[in-house]
Amino acid sequence: MNYRTRELRVTYFSYIRARLVVVLTVALFIALLGRVAYLQTYGREATISRADRQQHLILTLAARRGDIYDRNGLLMAGSIQTHSLFVDPKFMQDSFQEDGRSLIQMDQALDGLAALIGKDSFELSKLLGDRATSRFVKVAENLDDSTVAQVEALNLPGVGIGSGSARCYPMGSLAAHVLGDCGSDGNGLDGLELKYNALLSGRPGFARETKDAQRRPIGVAAEDYLPPQHGHHLVLTIDANLQTIAEQELRDAVEHVKAKSGMFVAMDPFTGDILALANYPTFNPQTLSDSTSDMRRNSALVSPYEPGSTFKPFLAGPAMMWHVTTQSEVWQIPGRTWFTPYGRAISDVEHYGNLCTWDGLVHSSNILMSQLSERMGNARLYKAMTGFGFGQRTGIDFPGESPGKVFDLKKWTHKSTESVAQGYELMVTPLQLARAFSAYANGGKLVTPRLLLGTVDPQGNILSRRQRVDFDSLPQAIDPATAAEVRRILCDVVIRGTAEGERSKIWNVSGKTGTAYLAEPHGYSKSRYNSSFVACAPYENPKLVVVCVIHDPDRTIAHYGGKVAAPAAVKFFERALTYMEVPASPDLPLPPPEVANVLIDYSAKQYTDRNFGAMKDDDSAMEITSSQ
Amino acid sequence: MEVSIYRLRTRDALTLCVLSLLMLGVVMVQSASAGAAERTDWQWSANAIKDAVFAAAGIVAFLVVGHFNYAWLGRAAAKVRQTPVVWIMAITVLANLLVLVPHIGVSVNGARRWLRMGPMQIQPSELAKWAVVLYLAFLLARRPLNLDRFFTGFLPLLIPVAVLCLLVVIQDFGTAVLIALAALAMLVAGKVRLRHLIIVIPPVLAAGLWFVMHKEYRWKRITAFANPYAAPQREGYHMIQSLLSFATGGWTGRGLGNGIQKLGYLPEDTTDFIFAVICEELGIFGAMLTIALYLGVLYCAWQTVKMKADNFGRLLAFGVGTMVTLQALINIAVATVSVPTKGLSLPLVSAGGSGLIITCAALGLLRSVSRFKNAGDEVVEEAKPLRIAPKPPARRPVHRLTERMLGAFTTS
């Protein structure tokens, strides 16, 4: 290295200072790397939820609500797809502003939309204006396909079509009270739709969709998708055909006597299956707004009433079982009116002379039943009532079932004995009556009524089926022999008793009428009644138990249970048993000789000749009724 | 020098780093500009094709510039008009003046930053970055005036830099800050007196502060940095979206191409905020890789500096390395919301245009220095007619103290 080179290689460069700069830079880089690591781990917690909200959209995948079928597999309630219209007002505004269009132009565009969906354009603008920063406003529901196509043709930014479902009842108002109804959110509000709501609705699924800034979907990760579990289908014990017959007969009966309302229950006495359950007036669950809540109430289950004479068999039966009396015992009936030992007047409709127990039931003698009740005593009366399940819920699978009312024995007054004997001072539902009468029909067993036969999963597999009723383990309300005796006695009701003339020529009907005064705020009404009929048929092997209650008939037309409710029930039997292909009944067995001897106006021809006292022409029957 | 195939020469390491950064850039620009909503099959996006073309051009520029001797640029001819640096400085100042004239300067997104040059647009501020590096390297190596004197040496020679900074700050505040920082680094390394710097820095800072505060949108950016969530849709938007990118990726990243923030949420995702995309998709590994490559560039620059080339070469190598790494540093600091938002791209990685080629050419200078390191003698000889300060200034005790304090870092 020569001198010149050495001298020229004077360094104007400070390595120390340069190193300082470099070290500082490296340190800052490492610090930034630390910052990155912090943002990706601990710092993430503060921001990840915001990122998640921004980048994802959680879609609820609606579960299809299960259908409801009748016992033959006919669809009674189903769900159909509908469309709803929603608007993203913020997106709409932004789009219009980006395109350089004014808000007035947006309002004009909204006018077109409003016209399509049948809304007031001012209201629509106001709705969207009030929620201008919102990202989702539901504007219309239940749109049909053509409207949807027209809306899509408008090609408005921020307008979307969502799909929903609406409940539909293809049978209209049929069995409306059993099915109940659904709200606009698709949840059951009433009836079985409410009772089995959880089963019917299933479980909605969801998809967590990743979307880009224009809210276009990018994809769904496998772990972000949960498919919906569709609801289960219900199969009911209701038979749509029997239900139709029941509703027709009930409507005819109610309208014929210009009554306020009516209730009708038909059940299988051996299984407790409710085959038909009708209330009148009825409603259409599809158009809820047309009906009042009174019309929607399933009175047959939830509105108890005083049964009147239909209650008498449930006292007479136990009395015979406990040997308090026999069917042939003759009771002293002094006249139309009889005074109890404490002086209360008990009246009959007609004075037939002294009656045996058999005739007392057939002619529904209040005097006889009062004397019998006094002999039984309150404790046994109470035991008889509760033994038939009165005062307790039947256990049917229906929401809001009423237990009726049976007063506690301690609350009974001295008048209660006679009142109960005539079917007052207690409240029963038609369903309870049907269940109790089933005991007479099936040999004394107290069945549990039911509406649900089974469930079917969305794929069509039968999931559950109600177990066959273990008949022997059911509570015994009355012994089989007495049950058969009472059933035989009640066959006379339609032949020579309170429903004389309402007999069926094909089947033997065993029933009991009732005509109960309506309770009013100050004692019982003198002119308003509940006319009812409880019956089973055919007598030999009962297939159906029916309770028909007509509330407040116009007494100028008819009001006795035998003339108002019984015809409806018997007509129902004739049509229903025909539909069920039940063979015609053989002739009724004659009463045992010791009974036949004490029956009034007894003639064996009554039982062998089916035209004897058979259903007469309606008009003449009514004439006789009104003349009585 | 013993040439061995087992030894990675500095300039080859630099080539690798530059190539890697360019390729990382092309891949990430492709990823960031791919819209998953339109098409799901593979397609080159227009942005990525453009970036790939520029990257290829950049590599060519890098190699070509690296092929020639840098000494020509540092030539100090007898006449001023024969000195290249003077011309470069003059052209740059002119370009930066021109761009401010309406109808000549092209405005993009409200900022007048571009000059149309035939089919291409160039940013004069990009030119300014490298002109300052060249000018300072020349100045500090040649010392036409006595830099130990403040009013007669230091200040007059700094005036062109100040003028350029003033012109740039009108267009692009971030670039001006970058130029000022790089200039500071070069002045520090180039043995100017520290007290001169201490006198100069406060007025510059004050001017910068005044400049930020007197324009409302700049001040809003600063306040938004304090709390981005106060205006999440306006000033805070960039910052929030960048933070969300880091959160979305987590430290493992979502995988290359799987980023969500790039789908319209993160603005400037192929340019200023591409680091956020890298981190979202590649996680901490992507951040480490990127930073390692810049540190590689810095390492190559440092190795070149240590090759004991001539003063100009050393300062040029140091200036180029500092400029590139400082820009990367500021960009990453912005992307991680460590400093307020500035419009600086990530050098070599961001989707670029002319700026990418210019940066590559500047790095080519670094390659040239590492290659022609011994050419210095000749150049210095040519420079003899200029009054070169023959002796370094006498050391003062305070300097020795500084040296001793910093001795811990040094080995030489």
Q: How confident is the model at residue A287 (pLDDT cuts 50, 70, 90)?
A: confident
Nearest one of B249, B257, B244, B260 to B285, comparing CA atoms: B249
Contact B392 A44 (CB under 8 A): no
Spatial contact of B300 and B366, defined as CB atoms under 8 Å apart: yes
The domain in which residue A172 lies consists of 59-232
CB count within 10 Å of CB A607 equals 19
DSSP state of B249: H
The set of residues, in sequence order, having a beta carbon less than 8 Å from that of B304 and lying 6+ positions away, is: B10, B313, B314, B317, B321, B366, B369, B370, B373
Contact at 8 Å (CB) between A231 and A77? no
User: At A483, is the pLDDT very low, low, confident or very high (cuts 50, 70, 90)?
Assistant: very high
% helix, strand, coil for chain B, step of 5? 65, 5, 30
Whether residue A440 sits in one domain with residue A387? yes
State the nearest Cα–Cα gap between A49 and chain B, in angstroms: 9
Residue-level pLDDT at A72: 92
| Band of residue A432 on the pLDDT scale cut at 50, 70, 90 | very high
Residue A423 counted as domain residue: yes
Is B316 within 8 Å of B70 (Cβ atoms)?
yes
pLDDT on residue A67: 93
Among A9, A23, A51, the residue with its CB nearest the CB of B247 is A51
Q: Is residue B327 part of a domain?
A: yes
Compare A157 and A70 and report the one with higher pLDDT.
Answer: A70
Q: Judge: A21–B391 Cβ closer than 8 Å, yes or no.
A: no
Q: Is the pLDDT of residue B410 over 60?
A: no
Shortest Cα distance, chain B CAs vs residue A232, angstroms:
37
Report pLDDT digits (tens) over A574-602. Answer: 999 999 999 999 989 999 999 988 988 88
Q: Is the pTM of this model over 0.80?
A: no
- Predicted pLDDT at B394: 64
Least confident of A252-266, A421-435, B81-95: B81-95
Judgement on whether residues A90 and A192 belong to the same structural domain of the protein: yes
Residue of B nearest to A50 (CA): B244
Domain containing A445 — which CATH number? 3.40.710.10
Kindly state whether residue B247 falls inside one of the protein's structural domains: yes
On whether residue A291 sits in a domain, the answer given is no
List CB contacts (< 8 A) between A25 and chain B. 298, 322, 325-326, 329
Interface touch B338/A32, C-beta < 8 Å: yes
Q: Give which of B248, B268, B290, B312 to mutate to test A binding, by max A Cβ within 10 Å.
A: B248
Tell me, yes or no, whether A103 and A14 share the same domain. Answer: no
**Inside any domain, residue A613:** no
Report the range of poorest mean pLDDT among A71-75, B120-124, B344-348: B120-124
Interface confidence (ipTM) of the complex: 0.89
What value does the mean pLDDT take over residues B155-167? 88
Among A232, A250, A266, identify where a domain stops: A232
Is the model more confident about A290 or about A179? A179
DSSP A67: P
- Is B295 in contact with A29 (Cβ distance < 8 A)? yes
Lowest mean pLDDT among A90-94, A397-401, B123-127, B335-339: A90-94
Same domain membership, residue A549 and residue A598: yes
pLDDT in tens, A89-130: 888 888 888 777 777 888 888 888 888 888 888 888 888 888
Tell me, yes or no, whether A96 lies in a domain.
yes
Residue A502 maps to a domain = yes
Q: Do the domain assignments include residue B404?
A: no
Q: Is residue A442 part of a domain?
A: yes
Q: Is residue A617 part of a domain?
A: no
**A116/A106 Cα distance (integer angstroms):** 16
Among B260, B405, B409, which would you mutate to test the A interface (most chain A Cβ atoms within 10 Å of its Cβ)? Answer: B260
A124 shares its domain with A251: no
Q: Are residues A329 and A473 in the same domain?
A: yes
What would the pLDDT profile of A501-521 be if each residue is shown by its tens digit?
Answer: 888 889 999 999 999 999 888
Q: Is residue B391 part of a domain?
A: no
B chain contacts of residue A221, beta-carbon cutoff 8 Å: none
Residue at B222 is within a domain: yes
- Which of the pair, A156 or B58, is modelled with greater confidence? B58
With an 8 Å Cβ cutoff, is B307 touching chain A?
A: no
Assign residue A151 the CATH number of its domain.
3.90.1310.10
Whether B403 maps to a domain, the answer reads no
Q: Mean per-residue pLDDT for A359-369?
A: 93
Tell me the Cα Rg of chain A.
38
pLDDT band of residue A323 (cuts 50, 70, 90) is: very high
Task: Name the residue with higher pLDDT: A88 or A581.
Answer: A581
- Inside any domain, residue B411: no
Q: Output the pLDDT for position B387.
A: 54
Q: Please state, rounded to an integer, the average pLDDT across all residues of chain B.
A: 85
Say if residue A369 is in the same domain as residue A351.
yes
Cα-based angle A425, A398, A535 (whole degrees, multiple of 5)? 55
Give the tens place of pLDDT for each residue, B187-233.
999 888 899 999 999 999 999 889 888 878 778 888 888 888 888 88
Structural domain containing residue B125: 2-381
Q: Specify the pLDDT at position A7.
A: 42
**Does residue A313 share a domain with residue A214?**
no
With respect to residue B40, please indicate whether it lies within any of the assigned structural domains.
yes
Say if the Cβ atoms of B263 and A48 lie within 8 Å.
no
Model confidence at A232, pLDDT cuts 50, 70, 90, reads very high
Q: What is the DSSP letter of B150?
A: I
Per the structure, the count of domains in chain B is 1
- Same domain, yes or no: A420 and A346: yes
- Do A395 and A506 lie in one domain? The reply is yes
Task: Give the CA distances from residue A529 to residues A9, A261, A442, B219, B386, in Å, rounded to whole numbers and listed in that order.
Answer: 130, 12, 30, 89, 132
What is the model's pLDDT at position B381?
42
Residue A620: CB partners within 8 Å, gap ≥ 6?
none
Quick one: pLDDT at residue A620? 44
Q: Is residue A624 included in any domain, yes or no?
A: no
How many structural domains compose chain A? 3
